[in-house]
Structure 1
Amino acid sequence: MSRVYDLVGVGIGPFNLSLAALAEPVEDLSTAFLDAKPEFSWHPGLLIEGTTLQVPFLADLVTLVDPTSRWSFLSYLAEHQRLFPFYFAENFHISRREYDHYCRWVAESLPSCAFGKRVTAVRWNAGDEVFHVDAEDIHTAQRETLSARSVVLGVGTEPVVPETMRALLGKEVFHASEYLDRKESLRGAEDVTVIGSGQSGAEVALDLLRAQEQADWRVRWLTRSPAFAPMEYSKLGLEHFTPDYTRYFRALPQEIRDQVVPQQWQLYKASSAETLAAIHDVLYERSVGRDETGADLMPNVAVIGAQRDDDGIELACRHTEQERDFTVRTDRVVLATGFAANRPSCLEPLSELIDWDESGRYQVGEDYRVALRPEVTGDIYVQNAEMHSHGVGAPDLGLGAHRAATIINAASQRRAYSLPQRTAFTTFGVT
């Protein structure tokens, strides 16, 4: 039998890249990571100039587990002779563009990371008691199979497009994840509508407003949320993004978890206070000496239908509190409707061997191990596909290194990394 890896990662986003970086110095732990993209990229369509991470730079790939790692953000700054400029900039929250460049540096430096390799199937070989990971080179179509004792799914999330909008996707209607790539298609539009009030929606709305006087378009921002509310960013509120809260959430019954997550929308689906303040500043300045700003901001609005005609896009809307229907006519629609984890097609050969829950989701253990049928002796782990089982911290960059270290400890069956026992001042439940 060919070489058997201890861990093979499918997908190289920030979370599997964190795993690759933390696994690199661990002795006797062999790893390989595959991604179909030709090179590392992190939401390239949303790397709008001036946008920043919503977490401090310490939430890099490794620091909150191993601040001495050579793959830390500070090591990246030193490597690129940027330590003094960063020191004087006094930025606790770095730009999205710099975070993307930092991750590229790590991905290009780690020999375990291979790009241009599309994973087509993950299969269980009962005879050898290993997973077979089939991959295809996107350039040459050459195929290869890697054997692994454990597989880590880090395939990321996919843009959510409402059913009412799917038939209209194209030049006039597109998801915010493509914003920079599609921005040229906005040229000539007289009316642009953004749907969704998360951070992506706020950043797109702000960028459109800043370009408004040159582009001469009307900007409309609609959301079904009850307000253009800021994301919870108090120091105690942020303790929901700690391993302590994750342990508490894990212990709740699943039906309670499913009730709690939607109620916590301001923890993970709202906009930063700074971005909302910048939008208000633009509108305030634009209102000087004018009766109106050329912008409409409306919460409590659900878009319940859409169609294209000779005059553009017609949106059928409903004000959810007033229970009143109305129509909006616009030239372009940017869907800032979020992202969601989907089951990757490469898992199809394992579908009957995974112990899905009643809603067809992974059943994920405390160490991010997926429940499998008893005949499978290997392990599958997931990253950022477990909000239903681990809570709102699942997509948060600040918990990425801790989760990666937890997986490394589980896969290596030893304490490769010592993890803190207490991470919050808040006591989340009764012992």
Structure 2
Amino acid sequence: MTKQMYDVIGIGIGPYNLGLAALLEKTELSGAFFEKSPSFAWHPGMLIEKMDLQVPFLADLATFADPKSPYTFMNYLYEQDRMFPFFFHNQTKVPRQEYNHYLQWAANQLDDLYFGHSIVDVIDWNEADNPHYEVIALEAETGKHHHFLAKHVVMGTGSEPLIIDGMKGLPDGDVLHTSRYLYEKENLLKAAHVTVVGSGQSAIEVFLDLLEEQRHNDMKLSLLTRTGGLFQLDQAKFAQEFFTPAYVDYFHSLSYEQRIENLDTLGPLRKGIDPDTLTRLYSDLYHKTAGGEKDYVLINPMTEVKSISPSDKGGYDLQCRQWQEEIDYRFHTEKVILATGYKPHIPDWFYNRFEEKIKWEDQKHYRVTRDYRLEFSDQRGHHFFTLTDLTYSHGAGATNLGLAVHRNVEIINTIAGKDIYKNQRNPSFQTFSMKEFKE
């Protein structure tokens, strides 16, 4: 048992907790962060060449809190001798591969990051004289359990692939989630017919990448989307203000029912496709079909895939429904890529230890304060923060990289009991709430 009492322990090392570790370095607060993967990797199965982030480069680990931090993207470019190439490239969006390399660069410089350590339990010691958490980590290399103590915990366990019911157990090389795309790409390119199921950014990126890899029309490509069409992300200036702290304040103040209803209205901000990606796809399709060739590309909107099963003639049969026409049909393909999104990953130990101690919005959503603390039934000064599953409590920006630094500022300031970093509360031209309106 280590005798050190950390101010905070982070569970999971993705961009959010990595950013928290970077901001903590300039403070007097002590922290340790644990990740089950052997090294840092950000969506390695989807680091497709020529694909960019959907947010500008300022949405890095530190800039919104501390532009002078050594962990900004601009300092990364400086250290990599890429300032002039980036300047001449004249783009605000960063290639996904470069963003991943930037995060790895930052992780390699930070102390107290423990990779290859799975958190298997978190014990709440709610003692009157010394309330704290005991975090138990399993080290993959040695198989040993290590115990750490912390005044506060931040759960950043991320998400896991969302698979359509009944599709587990099929061969990974034949029916796969987009999170494994690059691992299986070479195998996919040998297929006669590949079908992508989904309508979001990942679906279009994979479909576009396969389209650009087609050689001599020897592979048929299909895209089945449940949505009414391929709609672009709303990038209008005022629409982007829904990703500001001011709107998060407003959204969080609503009732749970109002928040859930409001999420539906924010669909174009959450589920749309990057306009540049759609333009590139349309241009590729136009050039590819010059001369009238259309047989090798199929895009079917308004199509829901109900089930997938092995076919007697090889490959797979997809049971589909065109929901607007209410027509059921069977669709045959050799390979299937599921761009069905992700769901929050909540560890089993969380339910075992905390389900009865915290307050819930409903049967599956826990209650979270504005500064990202779980609401416990008792009053406490040792807090359990969460960066996981926040869309219903903090709005569309809960998964937006542009608000990640703001979240970490809230957490650090709460732990410290003072404003260590400036919290930019009202950077919006729009006024969302009228509760304090005065004539």
Q: TM-score range by the shorter chain?
A: over 0.9
AA aligned opposite 2:243: F
Q: 1:327 aligns with which of 317, 324, 330?
A: 330
Deviation at 1:377, TM superposition (A): 4.3
What is the 5 A alignment of 1:337-416?
Answer: 337-347=340-350, 348-374=352-378, 377-416=381-420
Deviation at 1:412, TM superposition (A): 1.1
For residues 249 and 21 of structure 2, the distance between their equivalents in structure 1, rounded to whole angstroms, comes to 24
AA aligned opposite 1:63: T
For residues 149 and 266 of structure 2, the distance between their equivalents in structure 1, rounded to whole angstroms, comes to 40
Residue 173 of structure 1: aligned partner: 175
For residues 164 and 73 of structure 2, the distance between their equivalents in structure 1, rounded to whole angstroms, comes to 37
For residues 84 and 318 of structure 1, the distance between their equivalents in structure 2, rounded to whole angstroms, comes to 52
Deviation at 1:327, TM superposition (A): 1.2
Q: 1:265 aligns with which of 243, 263, 267?
A: 267
For the residue of structure 2 that corresponds to 1:165, the secondary structure is coil
Deviation at 1:62, TM superposition (A): 0.6
The CA RMSD measured in Å over matched residues stands at 1.5
Q: 1:295 aligns with which of 270, 294, 297?
A: 297
- Which ranges of structure 2 fall in alignment gaps of 5 or more residues? none
Q: Is the 8 A contact 1:257 1:389 kept in 2?
A: yes
Q: Is the 8 A contact 1:250 1:390 kept in 2?
A: yes
For the residue of structure 2 that corresponds to 1:40, the secondary structure is coil
After alignment, is 182-191 or 239-248 more displaced? 182-191
For residues 279 and 17 of structure 2, the distance between their equivalents in structure 1, rounded to whole angstroms, comes to 34
Q: Is the 8 A contact 2:345 2:388 kept in 1?
A: no
Q: Is the 8 A contact 2:359 2:376 kept in 1?
A: yes
Deviation at 1:291, TM superposition (A): 4.0
What is the 5 A alignment of 1:160-239?
Answer: 160-213=162-215, 216-239=218-241
Q: Is the 8 A contact 2:45 2:179 kept in 1?
A: yes
Residue 249 of structure 1: aligned partner: 251
Q: Is the 8 A contact 1:65 1:402 kept in 2?
A: yes
- Establish whether residue 17 from structure 1 lines up as the match of residue 18 from structure 2: yes
Residue 125 of structure 1: aligned partner: 125
Deviation at 1:293, TM superposition (A): 5.0
For residues 384 and 124 of structure 1, the distance between their equivalents in structure 2, rounded to whole angstroms, comes to 19
For residues 51 and 297 of structure 1, the distance between their equivalents in structure 2, rounded to whole angstroms, comes to 21
Residue 84 of structure 2: aligned partner: 84
Deviation at 1:258, TM superposition (A): 1.1
Q: Percentage identity across aligned positions?
A: 37
Q: Is the 8 A contact 1:164 1:304 kept in 2?
A: no
For the residue of structure 1 that corresponds to 2:432, the secondary structure is coil
Q: Deviations over 1:9-44 (max 9, x none)?
A: 0000000011111111012x1111110111110000
- Establish whether residue 44 from structure 1 lines up as the match of residue 44 from structure 2: yes
After alignment, is 285-294 or 104-113 more displaced? 285-294
Q: Deviations over 1:333-382 (max 9, x none)?
A: 10011112132123232332222222321210000001113165421111
- Which ranges of structure 1 fall in alignment gaps of 5 or more residues? none
Give the number of aligned pairs.
430
For residues 412 and 169 of structure 1, the distance between their equivalents in structure 2, rounded to whole angstroms, comes to 50
Q: Is the 8 A contact 1:362 1:386 kept in 2?
A: no
For residues 104 and 358 of structure 2, the distance between their equivalents in structure 1, rounded to whole angstroms, comes to 33
For residues 214 and 134 of structure 1, the distance between their equivalents in structure 2, rounded to whole angstroms, comes to 55
For residues 18 and 100 of structure 1, the distance between their equivalents in structure 2, rounded to whole angstroms, comes to 13
